[in-house]
Chains A and B, each alone.
Chain A
Amino acid sequence: MADLSLRNITKIYEGGVIAVRDLSLDVADRDFIVLVGPSGCGKTTTLRLIAGLESVTSGELLLDGERINDRLPKDRDMAMVFQNYALYPHMSVYDNIAFGLKMSKTPKPEIRERVEEAARMLEIGSLLARKPRALSGGERQRVAFARAIVRKPKVFLLDEPLSNLDAALRDQIRTSLIDLHRKLEATFIYVTHDQTEAMTLGTRIVLMRDGLVQQTDTPANIYDKPANIFTAGFIGSPRMNFLSARAELADEGGARIALRWGGRLIPLPPDKSAALEIGETCRFALDPGKLHLFETGSGEAI
């Protein structure tokens, strides 16, 4: 069980820089939450606040209902995978994976067993004697995962773990990450700036900008029902087009609203028209992925 709650979390750095503003988030057990946003949006800071590497300025961090604001990182029962993997260069892969267990004074036979189990799960059993220097990027990445897994934490914190890998490897590891999440039955919190990763990995996505949460939702909802222009513009490839139009009645005497754009009327579905008044100017987005070309005269559809 790992229900993590962030209640009105704010982080202000010493210089007065506000990294995270009033962030609230409920993470259910076995969730795969992806924090996504442009760089500098506060997503990594949020992760570090959860891990305990930074102190929370105001707000509450709750793990299974208990306040953990002042708990030391090691007592939070979380493991973190760093962007540069942070594998200790002077230790063999085995020692790297075993380090956390050694620190918690786990008996040696148990350490061996658990390290081997983690190594088996990530298929790095043959690399245990090597030093990190002698590993490829993908292998290092898996060792970093093994180091997190071996401690059997409630929550996995992943800080852009794929950003140092080439594209092909990234796709491959993304798939195995989903497998891993299913096998481990643990909660994952994953930070990335890559919307493809966010869309493919997350059960829920938290989209951030300038320390503020823009939208928290499932990938499908974020894509289909973006809460604001920023969300609409950030998610989706190719990107959406934003255009200005004026709201008008779609037909004489009727209740339907349409947008007048470029001498053309685009009728809106009823749920979208509620927010608009006749004569109001608004911006609308066209998703190139959902545009269909019709024969002349039939107009566009959204």
Chain B
Amino acid sequence: MTGLEKRRRRAEGRIMAFLLAAGFLFLLPLVVTFTNSLMAEAEIVLNYGARLTLFDLVEGVTEKFCRISLLPGEISFRQYFEVLLNQPSFLILLANSLKITLPVVAGNLVFSMLTAYGFTIWQWRYKEALFMAYIVVMLMPLQAVLVPNYIVADFLGVRSSYLAIILPGIFSPFGVFLMRQSMKAIPPAYFEAARIDGAGNLQIFFHVVAPQLKSSVAALLMLMFIEYWNLVEQAVIFIDDYTREPLSVYLSRIAAGRIGLVFAASCVYMFLPLWFLLLGQKDAERFYLRELFAANRGHLAKTALAALTILCGLAALMILARQALATCLGWQGLLPPGHSWAVGGFALKLAWLDAWYSPGAAIFILLQLVLAAIFILAWKLSAPKPQETEIGGDHG
């Protein structure tokens, strides 16, 4: 191994360590939310007693406590059952969120692609000035445009309907900006070739331009979906009927009522954007998986992937074994309050099991971290995608 290679390895190691640390910070809340969503309601109340209910006071409980507990003592889908099947309000609010988000995402995509296309193909005098105006509007913070939006919505008579949120969303300038920038990257020869081949403007758009913008479209869809899925301000201002609120507003209130359901509700709430994210990442993933296994490259990443597979297997085995053991011996429900590591109560007393289990929990987190790190690292290590030769024409 040459000195240069050693240094490169060391540098990669440092990057890896940094990514792991950053990944840990970013993923911890997600992991906790997910694992806690599998807890029984009772266990949650025991761990997150920060909000004292009237009943607590009656029973003389005055202590406030909040323990981040990582693993459920007993895996239970009760929370999901409550949220998805027993509480129609949750589903109605979920539908409300979709009613706002989907029209915005779809409408914005169509509008911004066509507008950007217009900016790309037509040459006219004040084009750049108009585009500048788009950018200025885009840079305005939401709070600055909320009041004008409110006045316009009032004028249009849609003040308390979803349209007051949807219309500004559809015509938000960010998409136009993103799409125009990516259309700029398409060499003009494509447009000209298509024009000579007899394609009209719309045909060029659908056959030549749109298919080349897949990744930008995915990015736009993702960003718009997340933006409007997570909206709070607009809903608080425009929607005055609480049955028509989106989930994002309701979620902050669910904790006040039934804290035991908040984790499952959050998970369901997160699921859709996550699904969207993964949808958009499919292309990217396929790309870096290919890169990972490409010869002579990504050696470190390959090793890490192998390690990840082994860790996955181990963790799964431990969780399964523990669960089986707990079930067989009937330890469920014996969980004493106050054990933050959420290990079966009886098992806690067996020191060896505790020691055996704690690394298991650590590995569980580690898995998530490694997964995040590995994708980012693979991204970094892989060479930039080989571009097709695009040499600007010599307009002699």
Contact = CB atoms under 8 A, between A and B. Distances in A.
Interface of A: 37-45, 48, 51-53, 72-74, 78-80, 82-84, 86, 88-91, 99-100, 103-104, 132-133, 137, 147, 151, 159-160, 163-164, 191, 193, 208
Contacts of A83: 189, 391, 393-394
Given A86-B187, A100-B197, A103-B203, A159 B393 contact: yes
A150 B388 CA distance: 24
A82 B189 contact: yes
A243 to B, nearest CB: 30
B169 to A, nearest CB: 29
B383 to A, nearest CB: 15
B388 A193 contact: no
B330 interface: no
A37 B395 CA distance: 12
A37 B388 contact: no
Nearest to B192: A53
Contact of A84 (B189, B199, B208): B189
A37 B394 CA distance: 12
A188 to B, nearest CB: 16
A40 B396 contact: yes
A262 B321 CA distance: 104
B99 interface: no
B204 to A, nearest CB: 10
Interface of B: 187, 189-190, 192-199, 203, 207-208, 211-212, 388-396
28 contacts: A38-B396, A40-B396, A41-B396, A44-B393, A45-B395, A48-B395, A51-B196, A53-B192, A72-B195, A73-B192, A82-B189, A82-B193, A83-B391, A83-B394, A84-B187, A86-B193, A88-B190, A88-B207, A99-B197, A99-B199, A100-B197, A103-B194, A132-B388, A133-B388, A137-B389, A160-B393, A164-B391, A208-B396
Given A74-B197, A103-B197, A84 B391 contact: yes
A74 B388 CA distance: 27
A40 B393 CA distance: 11
A137 to B, nearest CB: 7
Top 7 closest pairs, chain A to chain B, by CB: A100-B197, A74-B198, A86-B189, A86-B193, A103-B198, A90-B211, A44-B396
Nearest to B212: A90
B394 A78 contact: no
Contact of B197 (A42, A43, A151): A151
Contacts of B187: 84, 86
Nearest to A45: B395
A39 B393 CA distance: 11
Contacts of B212: 88-90
A84 B390 contact: yes
A43 B396 CA distance: 5
A90 B199 CA distance: 16
B396 A191 contact: yes
B201 to A, nearest CB: 12
A153 to B, nearest CB: 9
A38 to B, nearest CB: 8
A80 B193 contact: yes
A264 B187 CA distance: 58
A189 to B, nearest CB: 14
Contacts of B389: 84, 137, 164
A208 B394 CA distance: 14
Given A43-B396, A191-B396, A100 B391 contact: no
Contacts of A43: 396
A89 B192 contact: no
Nearest to B207: A99
Contacts of A53: 192, 195-196
Nearest to B199: A103
